[in-house]
Chain A
Amino acid sequence: MTTFTPDASRALDGPDWLVRRRTAAAERLADLTWPTSREEIWRYSAIDDFDPERFSPVPTEELGAPGVEGAPGGGLLAAEAGDRSGLVVVRNGRVVHHELDPALEAKGVHVCDLATCAAGEAEPWLGMCSDASPDAFTELHDAFLAGGAFVHVPAGVVVDTPIVVLHWSHGEGRASFPHTLVVAEEAAQVAVVDRFSSAGGPHLVDAVVELVLGDGANVRYLSVQEHGPHTWQVALQRAHLARDAVLRSSAVALGGDYARLRNESRLEGSGAESDLLAVYFGDGTQVHDFRTLQDHAAPHTRSNLLFKGAVEDDARSVYSGMVRLRPEAQRSEAYQTNRNLVLSEGAGAESIPNLEIEANDVKCSHASTVGPVDDDQRYYLATRGIPPEEADRLIVMGFFEDVIARLPVRSLVDPLRGAVTRKIEHRGHPHG
């Protein structure tokens, strides 16, 4: 590689601990062979079309000095998020604005840039989840990580109103490395909305989201991906849950050219519980690619995954999910459901659920469907005088409704339902 070199990595600024972390990753990256679709985890992906030479990291001068600017608008979603207790704006991976309700600040809640927050507060937490699940893109991410949103909620503190993080990536041929690190310590509660969006030109977004849940912590996390039509996203979202922690996580993916998300949840403490929801909708030639892992490593843990997607025009989607119940995960429950609607003949969806059960006293199920809109449902609606296009809109919205209604941030349910509706109403006019 000529663009993502150790020298390019060393040219970025930041605190010593972050420079050391980047340099180590850049050196590993230099020795790394880029993956291909022959590897199972990359099967059905677009990795063979990926040419790292097409992209280069955003240099320090363009990133601008770390520090606080005025909030640059915040976009539609920030406005629609209604009440919020905090806001972080991240541009090309670097935090350019952050604010937090002073009452929460007084309770010790911190919302800041993980690179620059006081006393290296983020250092011990950074990589806690992602280092346990590395791949070529997390190495690339770690080699060029210039900052990111850090949300730290100390033990026992409750943040009722969501903290909103807006990641904006831009620059043709550039690569950016957004990072969100949420730490909810013992019995802390927090809701975080993470919005990823990008400009229209070709851009690589290599993102990592880490969710660290201490004993009895409760985190609601909603990510919304509305990238531009020529953005390549390769992202990891990984959560570690301690004893009795509860995670309600959901992803809404609407944008991008190729948008991959590894969505992983590791249940490390007894009684931990993880809900993983997703809605995805691709049109044009979009590819949405999800790899999920429900990793049960403690007894009495519970996970429930429901991913629902639609593809139309020539879009493709991939769902490949793994439920792993390790020997120590006795009396655990794990459920995995993936359902896909294929709305055009040229579109396609892959659905590959997997189970790996090493404990004998567990409850486990998986279900997966791929199919077109049901003709009987269309006919039923037609007998009420509803024309086929309108019937399809109703059926598709209805299909998504059980996930949308359960999205963990109530104030965003209606705006996101609207975003999905707009996608449906574009039918036959991709990117029109």
Chain B
Amino acid sequence: MSSRLVISGLRASVDGFEILRGVDLEVGSGEVHVVMGPNGSGKSTLSHVIMGRGDYAVTEGSVALDGEELLTLPTWQRAARGLFLAMQYPVAVPGVPVGELVAAAARTRGDDPAAYADRVTAEAQRLAVTDEFLTRGVNDDFSGGEQKRMETLQLAVLTPKIAVLDEIDSGLDVDALRDVARRVEAMTTEDDLGVLAITHYNRLLLGLRPDRIHVLMGGRIVASGGPELAGQLEETGYEGLAADLGVEEITLERPREVDPFAEPGF
């Protein structure tokens, strides 16, 4: 069955400061969408708001999967509906190896954990994850590349409908990036996975073969286009593109609080 994630008019803030200022995006099964943007444009916020992290307040808009509103659901239920987030900085859970983690996810779904264990073994081979990283607590003392391989392994084992990949291309070497991108690409064709990849580099695009590129600046999608948009960005840079589009606010600077007792600067 084909799925569709529809984000419309999404506005969100942290501590009263608005970071997402009306985001519209649609991702369907088998599609690869890439959101590009400079640091501070709201990219990571977008991924966590989609997933329902507690410290963001959604003020307007909707995130719906196959017509069901997700914003009212806790994170784990969004995941249970078929959403997955691969994190930029995956959290270490000492003493909980990936096998136990996916077994717990399987039990929650009412699936047989043994089948998931087999998939972990198969995916570990496919993603060159060695036994050591299967027995250690997930992400506990992992390098950047090991973390991203482990995120991809879980993605492949849990087979969600739509995956949000938050800077899955940062902090890893070219070999790991190639393995990760290949595996994700294969899922889009074999498993009809829909992908929303968030990045500020171009290099992820080579392996992922995106259908659509979106540029996020100042908490809004300011441009969308085919893969050629990435090439255009490469030439002009974000500032050049912003100038072409007449966008004034590229990044979001939080107003700095002035401490009246601070020592005078030099």
Contact = CB atoms under 8 A, between A and B. Distances in A.
A381 interface: yes
Interface stretch (A178-186, A247-255, A391-399): A391-399
Contact of A381 (B51, B101, B137, B158): B101
A402 interface: yes
Interface string A373-404: 01111011111111110110011011111100
B94 A382 contact: no
B91 A380 contact: yes
Contacts of A395: 93, 96
Interface in B68-107: 74-76, 79-80, 84-85, 87, 90-96, 100-102, 104-105, 107
A388 B108 CA distance: 11
B131 to A, nearest CB: 16
A388 B75 CA distance: 10
Contacts of A388: 74, 76
Contacts of A381: 76, 93, 101, 104
B93 A385 contact: no
B96 A394 contact: yes
Given A394-B96, A397-B96, A399-B95, A384 B101 contact: yes
Contacts of B90: 380
Given A383-B84, A383-B87, A385-B109, A399 B94 contact: yes
Contacts of B107: 390
Nearest to B107: A390
B79 A382 contact: yes
Contacts of A391: 76, 104
Contact of A383 (B51, B92, B100): B51
B108 A390 contact: yes
B203 interface: no
B62 interface: no
B256 to A, nearest CB: 26
Given A375-B54, A379-B75, A384 B102 contact: yes
Interface in A4-44: none
Contacts of B75: 379, 382-383
Contacts of A394: 93, 96, 100-101, 104
Contact of A376 (B52, B91, B108): B91
B154 interface: yes
Nearest to B48: A379
A398 B137 contact: yes
Interface string A350-388: 000000000000000000000000111101111111111
A376 to B, nearest CB: 5
A383 B85 contact: yes
B53 interface: yes
A342 to B, nearest CB: 17
B79 A384 contact: yes
Nearest to B83: A383
B158 A385 contact: yes
B79 A385 contact: yes
A384 B95 contact: no
A398 B87 contact: no
A87 B75 CA distance: 51
Given A384-B154, A386-B104, A394-B100, A377 B79 contact: no
A394 to B, nearest CB: 5
A379 B53 contact: yes
Interface string A129-173: 000000000000000000000000000000000000000000000
B100 to A, nearest CB: 6
Contact of B108 (A374, A386, A397, A399): A386
Contacts of A383: 51, 75-76, 79, 84-85, 87
B45 to A, nearest CB: 14
Contacts of A377: 91-93
B95 A385 contact: no
A72 to B, nearest CB: 37
B158 A384 contact: yes
A324 B107 CA distance: 48
Nearest to B52: A382
A400 B95 contact: yes
A383 B91 CA distance: 11
27 contacts: A374-B91, A377-B91, A377-B93, A379-B91, A380-B91, A380-B93, A381-B104, A382-B76, A383-B79, A383-B85, A384-B102, A384-B104, A384-B158, A385-B80, A385-B105, A386-B101, A388-B76, A391-B104, A394-B101, A395-B96, A397-B95, A397-B96, A398-B94, A398-B95, A400-B95, A401-B95, A402-B95
Nearest 10 A/B pairs, CB to CB: A398-B95, A401-B95, A385-B79, A382-B75, A380-B91, A398-B96, A382-B76, A383-B85, A376-B91, A385-B80
